[in-house]
Amino acid sequence: MIIVLKPKTSKKEAERVMAKIRENGLEPVPLFGIERTVIAVIGDSRTEALDGMKAMECIEKITSILKPYKLASREYKPDNTIVKVGDVEIGGKDFVIVAGPCSIESESQIMEIALFLKKVGIKILRASAFKPRTSPYSFQGMGLKGLKLLKQVKERTGLLVETEVMDVRDVKISAEYVDMLRIGARNMQNFDLLKEVGKVNIPVILKRGMNATISEFIMAAEYILSRGNKDVILCERGIRTFETAYRNTLDISAVPTLKKATHLPVMVDPSHSSGKRGLILPLSRASIAAGADGLMIEVHPNPEQALSDGEQSLYPEQFSKILEELKPICKVMGRNL
């Protein structure tokens, strides 16, 4: 349920409405706008007790939301959310590319790629300190040491840095070292992790699970939003289908579908979608044309020596070329790159 208050309703009156909601065992989540205040009612709001609220002078209208998600819906927030990461805005006029290696492997590796990305104009470096791997014998990441290297990168280059978190115990410590957290596809429905990330005041990239429906994906974002963290970015990264010609199948339809259903920014990961560096450029073009707000691309100083995802990692010179080829498409779509 969404309760819209009349223009210029005082904060005191809004508090009175929220107190009434709490009296009925429900949780109000206010969105204070310039003109109006909108209050989402979280919980089973199918109660006659709320009907009496319609008579409150400050309430303009009460609307039921049939979708399972509330805070992520366009009904709750019609305008697009712009997530700020440092001086970067995701979801606004700029088309944002987050780039870097799959994982932090050494100080020299992460510093080399960071300096390159800085040179070509990238503002956010992606690199995982913790790695979920299919095999327990594969490289699992550098952990805390990797987080410290990301902090060194930021101090030396000025780049903003992001990393993946896999465990509730890693969330707070990771948030101390980076500017943005990422929930990987395998953890999209790790509800305890989603709740923990929802408690920290740091932007989050939430990747779609390889077997998740659009509704399940948005509901995962709802977990984070419902705990107070409003800076959530959705990332389509390919779903599992019967096709074996590439790693995953990029669901390009998810981009406009998510943009219509939610107010959250939407990014695309063409690296994991394809698993092949040769497909990254065409998938990136399609993502921009579909209305995505940004891309997440893997770039490694030497993919042949990468400890993870080498086949889908771009060489630096390939990434530079792709950036130039994407600029005209962004211009056509009214975005700045």
Query: Given this model, what pLDDT does residue 159 score?
Result: 98
DSSP β-ladder status, 2-5 and 37-42: antiparallel
| CA separation for the pair 283, 307 (Å, rounded) | 24
Q: 282: Cβ–Cβ under 8 A, 6 or more apart, which residues?
A: none
Q: Which residues of 68-80 are buried (b: 16+ CB within 10 A; e: fewer)?
A: ebbbbbebbbeee
Backbone torsion region of residue 335, taken as left when φ is above 0, otherwise alpha when ψ lies between -120 and 50, otherwise beta: beta
- Closest Cα partner for 40 from 58, 10, 8, 63? 63
DSSP alpha helices (H): ranges in the chain?
11-23, 107-119, 144-157, 168-175, 191-198, 214-226, 254-261, 270-274, 280-290, 316-332
Per the listing, tokens 């939301």 go with 65
8 A C-beta contact, residue 181 and residue 205? yes
10-residue stretch averages of pLDDT, the chain, 337 residues long: 86 88 85 82 66 80 81 92 97 97 94 97 95 68 90 96 95 96 96 97 97 97 95 97 93 98 98 95 97 98 89 96 97 95
Q: What is the number of other CB atoms lying within 10 angstroms of the CB of residue 85?
A: 21
Cβ contacts of residue 126 below 8 Å, gap of 6+? Answer: 98, 99, 100, 101, 162, 163, 182, 296, 298
All structural domains of the chain, each given as residue ranges with its CATH number in brackets, are 2-63 (3.30.70.1140), 83-332 (3.20.20.70)
Q: From the CB of residue 194, how many other CB atoms can be counted at a distance below 10 Å?
A: 26
- DSSP assignment letter at 252: T
79 backbone dihedrals φ, ψ, rounded to 5° = -80, 150
pLDDT at 224: 97
Alpha carbon distance 8, 19 (integer Å):
19
How far apart, in Å, are the Cα atoms of 300 and each of 100, 156, 259, 292?
6, 19, 31, 24
Position 11 scores a pLDDT of 87
Q: Looking at residue 292, what is its pLDDT? A: 98
* pLDDT on residue 190: 97
- Tell me the C-alpha distance between 70 and 27, whole Å: 12
Cα torsion 108, 110, 112, 114 to 10°: value is: -150
Q: Is beta strand 59-63 parallel, antiparallel or unpaired with respect to 180-183?
A: unpaired
d(CA 276, CA 274) in angstroms, rounded, equals 5
Per-residue pLDDT, 143: 87
Cα(42)–Cα(119) distance, integer angstroms:
46
